[in-house]
A and B are shown apart, each in its own frame.
Chain A
Amino acid sequence: MISHQAVEQAAYDIMTKAAIDIPEDYLGGIKEMVTTEKAQLSCFVLQSMVENWEAASEDRRPMCADTGLPRYYVKVGNDARIEGGFVALERALRSATARATHDVPLRPNRVHPLWRTDHNNNVGINAPEIDWSFEPDADWIDITTVHKGGLFGTDYRMLFPGDGIDGIKRFYLDTLIAFGKRGLACQPAIVGVGLGGSKDTSMVLGKQAACLRIVGDRNPDEKIAALELELTDIGNNIGMGPMGFVGSSMVVDCHIEVGYTHTGGMPMSVHTFCLSSRRATARLHADGTVAFRTDPKWFTPYMRRESIEWSTSKDSLSKSV
């Protein structure tokens, strides 16, 4: 049985870690870009960001004052038991959000869309969002928090099968260029592309592809993996870098996730996870222990299953442990 206090504490801890410590994979990607970026000003911006993350970790202060929208992704093992059930878990996540908002501190970003009411704790109607997924043959719960920034950098479009891969490339470029100017997207970013599903699914998949997969991770479908690398390259050859300055550092990595879609359509979304790619995960085991990491391991073989059955629990676990 996993206690709701343990959930609350772990959720609070990952909020703090996400806000302060840049994930290693993303930091590695930016450091790599410092060595490849030839444009002086773009390179200066990248170096300043590295200094900023060092300052954040040293001083234990948030890396960016714009908290973005703090939210949670929860993966529940099929055999996990939670004290008080799912309602208690959701309550614990809301309470942890409020506590972390005061203590880190995080900027209270969440307001009512019309009345602009601010509870000063990042909690409100439908906030924080909590997305759920499940994992067979497991008794743990994974809680991931993401503080994705940005009023900018995301777009959706209904494409059609006839638009083909070229259509995907074009819309991808459109989004990067539109929001890359003046650096509105706070690039270089991890770019997530959602393809297929219903319209809302394509948005959700693209967001999760950007925020829940790490730099260097490849889609298990080889051709999609090749497209991920090609899109990364295309993004870095626009001629644009951080802040929209001349440069070659735009996309740290590109992740594509797909969902079966309407036979006549190819909905597509593009999401950019900004210079503050804030994510942190806690795994709560049935015995009460907690392990922290920065790789959410959200897209398990079970998540990507194609048919009624899925790959064996052993394959699945080795991928997701």
Chain B
Amino acid sequence: MVDEQRQPQQVRVKIPSLREDLEGLTPGTVVYLDGVVYTAREGVYKKVLDEGAPLPLDLPAVSDANFHCSPAAAREPDGRYNVGGVTATASFRFSQWMPQWFEKSGARIIIGKGGMSADDYRNLFVPAGAVYLTTVGYGTGALLGRGIKRVRDVFWLEELGIAQAMWVFEVENFGPFLVDSDLQGNSLFEQHTRQINARLGEVYAGLGPPALGRFGETDDRSDELV
């Protein structure tokens, strides 16, 4: 049963992270980050893992927090970057690259939108000692933009474009994020979805099936599409 009365607990975590900091995180904890965070999604994963390009920076030493996102950024005439906001992109599409990425990058914190499946947490995240943080809303682009103090570097900008490039941000009080998966693979989304599913029969009560069905249609509304 999801505990509804508890005020969400808030913590700040320094990056690169310490194991004991990650151990203190439980599903639903509100997290703010300080240090360096980088973006990597399909463009970077393909480049590094499928094509074998070397990592352009010493990742484990600089940052172990991989943000699945693309910034709203523009290059100013003086060569600096103006980052207005950042918003995460849905993470479930990236699970195929995660095991190798954990190994290669030393990532311990994955930040994104909507979490990954409970199986992914059990099979990929728990063995890697990694947690998953989800952005809030998900439209908190302006709050997250405030937390970015400086663009430290950007790699493969020409080749991959603004959305897919690898951005390296110096961040302060960067958040809010919510812990979805803790080090044991307990998932906030899973807990909530289970509770909602329990009532779905009632929600549909009395509504008959449509005259024309669809290929692939399931009548089990507790199924997920991701």
Contact = CB atoms under 8 A, between A and B. Distances in A.
Do they bind each other? yes
A166 B207 contact: yes
Contact of A48 (B69, B176, B214): B176
Nearest to B1: A246
A169 B192 contact: no
B18 interface: no
Interface residues of A, number: 69
A184 B115 CA distance: 10
Nearest to B199: A239
A189 B39 CA distance: 28
A171 to B, nearest CB: 7
B11 interface: no
A178 interface: yes
A244 B189 contact: yes
Contacts of B141: 52, 56, 61-66, 276
B4 A65 contact: no
Contact of A107 (B28, B72, B115): B72
Nearest to A158: B212
A239 B202 CA distance: 11
B99 interface: no
B contacts with A: majority SS: mixed
A108 B161 contact: yes
Nearest to B5: A40
A282 B90 CA distance: 33
Interface residues of B, number: 61
Given A59-B142, A62-B85, A160 B137 contact: no
Interface string A142-186: 000000010110000111101100110111011001110111101
A158 B213 CA distance: 10
A178 to B, nearest CB: 6
Contacts of A62: 72, 84-85, 141-142, 145
Interface string A176-209: 0111011110100000000000000000000000
A105 interface: yes
Contact of A109 (B73, B163, B192): B163
A65 B69 contact: yes
Given A48-B137, A171-B210, A184-B114, A65 B189 contact: no
B136 A243 contact: yes
B30 A105 contact: no
Nearest to A38: B4
A63 B161 contact: no
A72 B226 CA distance: 31
B80 interface: no
A231 B10 CA distance: 36
Contacts of B140: 48-49, 52, 64
B222 to A, nearest CB: 9
A179 B64 CA distance: 31
Contacts of B221: 174, 177
Contact of A105 (B72, B114, B188): B72
B139 A45 contact: no
A63 B203 contact: no
Contacts of A38: 4
Interface in A115-132: 118, 120
B200 A177 contact: yes
A204 B210 CA distance: 23
B8 A40 contact: yes
Contacts of A66: 70, 87, 89, 139, 141
A181 B188 CA distance: 12
B143 A48 contact: yes
B114 A183 contact: yes
A41 B225 contact: no
A80 interface: no
B181 interface: no
Nearest to B214: A157
Interface of A: 38-41, 44-45, 48-49, 51-53, 55-56, 59, 61-67, 101-109, 111, 118, 120, 149, 151-152, 157-160, 162-163, 166-167, 169-171, 173-174, 177-179, 181-184, 186, 237-240, 242-246, 274-276
Given A52-B137, A64-B139, 10 more contacts: A40-B8, A41-B2, A41-B178, A61-B84, A61-B142, A63-B142, A184-B90, A237-B203, A239-B196, A246-B195
19 contacts: A40-B4, A49-B136, A51-B143, A52-B141, A61-B84, A62-B72, A62-B141, A64-B139, A64-B141, A65-B144, A66-B89, A67-B72, A104-B72, A118-B162, A149-B139, A173-B204, A181-B226, A238-B196, A244-B193
Interface of B: 2, 4-8, 28, 30, 69-74, 82, 84-87, 89-90, 114-115, 134, 136-146, 161-163, 176, 178, 188-189, 192-193, 195-196, 199-200, 203-204, 206-208, 210-212, 214, 221, 224-226
